[in-house]
C-alpha cells in the first residue's frame, strides 16, 4: 500500500463508535479504576474523575477526533498537516508512547487471558497468591504476553474494517452484557452493602488533596485513550460528515459508565469475604489476588462468575490493545510506506520484545504505567489542548462539518485554551514530582 492509495474507512457509524469505545474501555476501567478508587477516597475520587472526564477529557477527545478526521492521517501526519514540522514531533512522541504502553499493557492482558482460561478449565486455584506468583513471573509471564500480542497482531493485520471494526462489533456488546450481569449478580452477595458503602461514600478530605486530582486526571486520560493519538488514528478512518461532538460524548459516557458499573461488581465481591485489607497492598493485587480468592471460595458459582469476569477483562484488553497497535502501524504505513501486514507483524514483534522487562518485574511494570499514564499521556493532552486552542488556524471550521447546529463550540475552544492546560500543567508537575520522589 502506498500513501496515495485511498484510505480505508469504517463500514458504519456504529462500527467506529464501538471501536472507539473498545479502545477506551479496557484494563483501565477495571484494573486501574478499582485500585485508584480504593486508594483515593472512594466516591470523592469518583466525582473528581467524572468532572475531569467531562471538562478536561471530553474537549481533548473532541480535539483528537477533529484532527484525525480532518487530516485523514495518523498522528504524525495529522499534526504535520495542521501544524507543520515542529508539531509533527509531538506525533512522534505519540507513536513512542504507543510502543511503551502496549509493551506492558500486553503483559497484564496475557495474565488476564491465562486467568480466564484457567478458571474455565480447572477453576480458581485455592492459593491465589501463589498462583499469581507463577503467572506473573518468569518465562510463563513472557509466553502469555507474546501470545496476547500475536492475537492483537492478527486482528490489526486484518485491517480497519475486517480486523478492528469486526472485532469491536462482536466483542463490545458481549462486554457490556457481562459487566452489567456481574454487577447485578453482586447485588445478591452478603458483602454488597459494605462494598457499596466503601465505593460510594465520599471521603471529602480527598477532594482537596492534589494527589487525588493527579490520580483522577491520569486515569481519565488513560481510560479515554487520550494523549497518544489512538483516538486521532481511529477518527482518521471516518468520512467527513460525522457528528464528532456527539461521538465524543458517547465515548466518554460509555467509558465512565463501564468503569462505574464494573466498580459496582468489584467492590461487593471484595467485601463479600471481607478481603478489603488486601486491596491497597499492590496495584495488581485487587484484581489478580483478592478477587480470585473470593471466586475460589465461592465454589461453582465463583468459578462461573470468575470466568465471566476475566473474559470481560480479556475482551476489554484486546479491543484496547489493537488501538494501541494501530497507532504504531498507521504511522509506519503512511510514513514509511510499509504494508499493513508488515507493519503489524514487525512492530508487534518489537513491542513483544520491549514488554519482556515488564513481564519479569512488577516494579518495572508499575513504573512504566505511572510514567506513561501520568506523565506522557498528560503531557500529550496538554500539548494537544495548546495546539488546538492556540496554534491551529481554524479548528471551528474543522469541527463543524456534520455538526452544524451545535452552539457550544466556543466553549470547547475556550476550555482547550485556558482551563484544560492549567489543570494538566498542574497535574504534570505533580506527576513528575511523584515519579522521582
Q: Which residues bind ligand PHE (CB under 6 A)?
A: 23-24, 26-29, 101, 222-223, 225, 228, 230, 320, 323-324
CB-nearer residue toward ligand PHE: 225 or 430? 225
Taking a C-beta distance cutoff of 8 angstroms, is the pair 236, 76 a contact?
Answer: no
Pairwise CA distance, residues 397 & 293, whole Å: 54
Task: Kindly state the smallest distance separating residue 317's Cβ from ligand PHE, in Å.
Answer: 7
Task: Kindly state the smallest distance separating residue 324's Cβ from ligand PHE, in Å.
Answer: 5
Task: Kindly state the smallest distance separating residue 287's Cβ from ligand PHE, in Å.
Answer: 12
Reading phi first (left if > 0) and then psi (alpha if -120 to 50, else beta), residue 274 is in: left
CB-nearer residue toward ligand PHE: 131 or 222? 222
CB-nearer residue toward ligand PHE: 53 or 225? 225
Q: Largest Cα–Cα distance of the chain, in whole Å?
A: 61
CB-nearer residue toward ligand PHE: 16 or 124? 16
Pairwise CA distance, residues 91 & 48, whole Å: 29
The packing angle between helices 192-200 and 43-52, to 10°, is 50
CB-nearer residue toward ligand PHE: 40 or 320? 320
Taking a C-beta distance cutoff of 8 angstroms, is the pair 256, 53 a contact?
Answer: yes
Task: Kindly state the smallest distance separating residue 423's Cβ from ligand PHE, in Å.
Answer: 19
Identify any residues that bridge with 42 across adjacent strands, giving them in sequence order.
202
Task: Kindly state the smallest distance separating residue 316's Cβ from ligand PHE, in Å.
Answer: 6
Dihedral over Cα of 359, 74, 78, 316: its sign: negative
Closest CA to 309 of 291, 297, 327, 289: 291
Task: Kindly state the smallest distance separating residue 274's Cβ from ligand PHE, in Å.
Answer: 29
Closest CA to 76 of 406, 330, 366: 330
CB-nearer residue toward ligand PHE: 219 or 271? 219
Residue number, nearest CB to ligand PHE: 28
Amino acid at each position: 500500500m502506498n500513501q496515495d492509495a485511498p484510505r480505508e474507512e469504517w463500514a458504519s457509524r456504529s462500527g467506529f463508535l464501538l471501536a472507539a469505545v473498545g479502545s477506551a474501555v479496557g484494563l483501565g476501567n477495571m484494573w486501574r479504576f478499582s485500585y485508584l478508587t480504593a486508594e483515593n477516597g472512594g466516591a470523592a475520587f469518583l466525582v473528581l474523575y467524572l468532572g475531569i472526564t467531562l471538562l478536561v477529557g471530553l474537549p481533548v477527545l473532541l480535539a483528537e477526533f477533529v484532527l484525525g478526521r480532518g487530516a485523514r492521517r495518523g498522528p504524525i501526519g495529522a499534526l504535520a498537516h495542521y501544524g507543520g514540522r515542529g508539531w509533527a514531533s509531538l506525533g512522534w512522541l505519540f507513536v513512542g508512547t504507543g510502543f511503551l504502553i502496549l509493551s506492558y499493557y500486553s503483559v497484564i492482558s496475557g495474565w488476564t487471558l491465562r486467568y480466564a482460561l484457567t478458571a474455565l478449565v480447572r477453576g480458581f486455584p485455592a492459593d491465589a497468591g501463589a498462583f499469581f506468583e507463577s503467572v506473573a513471573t518468569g518465562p510463563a509471564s513472557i509466553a502469555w504476553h507474546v501470545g496476547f500480542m500475536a492475537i492483537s497482531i492478527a486482528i490489526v493485520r486484518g485491517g480497519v474494517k475486517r480486523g478492528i471494526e469486526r472485532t469491536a462489533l462482536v466483542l463490545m456488546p458481549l462486554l457490556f452484557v457481562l459487566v452489567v450481569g456481574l454487577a447485578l449478580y453482586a447485588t445478591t452477595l452478603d458483602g454488597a452493602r459494605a462494598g457499596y458503602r466503601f465505593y460510594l461514600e465520599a471521603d471529602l478530605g480527598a477532594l482537596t488533596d492534589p494527589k487525588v486530582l493527579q490520580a483522577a486526571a491520569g486515569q481519565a486520560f488513560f481510560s479515554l485513550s487520550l494523549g497518544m493519538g489512538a483516538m486521532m488514528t481511529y477518527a482518521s478512518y471516518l468520512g467527513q460528515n460525522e457528528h464528532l461532538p456527539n461521538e465524543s460524548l458517547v465515548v466518554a459516557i460509555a467509558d465512565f459508565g463501564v468503569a462505574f458499573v464494573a466498580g459496582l461488581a468489584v467492590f461487593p465481591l471484595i467485601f463479600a469475604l471481607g478481603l478489603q485489607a488486601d486491596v491497597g497492598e499492590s496495584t495488581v493485587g485487587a484484581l489478580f489476588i483478592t478477587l480470585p480468592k473470593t471466586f475460589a471460595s465461592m465454589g461453582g458459582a465463583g468459578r462461573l462468575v470468575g470466568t465471566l469476569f476475566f473474559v470481560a477483562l480479556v475482551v476489554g484488553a484486546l479491543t484496547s490493545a489493537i488501538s494501541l497497535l494501530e497507532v504504531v502501524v498507521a504511522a509506519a504505513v503512511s510514513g514509511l510506506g510499509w504494508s499493513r501486514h508488515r507493519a503489524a507483524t514487525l512492530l508487534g514483534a518489537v513491542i513483544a520484545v520491549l514488554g519482556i522487562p515488564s513481564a519479569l518485574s512488577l516494579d518495572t511494570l508499575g513504573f512504566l504505567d505511572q510514567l506513561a499514564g501520568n506523565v506522557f499521556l498528560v503531557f500529550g493532552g496538554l500539548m494537544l489542548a495548546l495546539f488546538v486552542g492556540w496554534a491551529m488556524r481554524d479548528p471551528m471550521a474543522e469541527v463543524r462539518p456534520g455538526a452544524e447546529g451545535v452552539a457550544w463550540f466556543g466553549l470547547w475552544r475556550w476550555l482547550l485554551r485556558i482551563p484544560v492546560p492549567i489543570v494538566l500543567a498542574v497535574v504534570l508537575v505533580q506527576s513528575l514530582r511523584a515519579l522521582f520522589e
